[in-house]
Amino acid sequence: MNYHIDNFGDERIAEIFHSSPTIIVRNQKSLAIEGWASDETAHLPAGKVEINIDGKLYPVTYGLDRPDVAKAYNVPAYKHSGFKGAIPISKIGKGKHYLQLKVFSNNKKTNSLSKEIVNFEIQ
């Protein structure tokens, strides 16, 4: 599986990692997460994506338009590989947490957790 988190909360993820290994979340009603994921073995979009926060899975909307990903990888099928979700802060709770993506193969028979872990703290 291939994937990337573009935005986490109000920040672009690349900018966050340059400033701190732990993202501080303040004054937000929900945690917005956006990115893309694909099944690189099948050269197709992923079957679905879920957000794993502290071992609890949250659904996201998958299949959003990402022509930039299709162009970057030269795989037209990746055009609909975008995802977007918003998890209410009240469901997560204050304190330190971790986030990973759970990406399913196009046929949904296999899945894997992202190797990258996003550490964050809700204050």
pTM, two decimal places: 0.86
pLDDT digit string, tens, across residues 1-49? 888 888 887 656 554 444 457 888 888 899 999 999 999 999 999 999 9
The helix (run of H) or strand (run of E) holding residue 91 is helix 89-92
Distance CA 80, CA 78 (A): 5
Closest CA to 99 of 13, 1, 2, 10: 13
The domain spans of the chain are 2-122
More confident residue, 79 or 119: 79
Q: Domain 2-122 classified CATH 2.60.40.10? A: yes
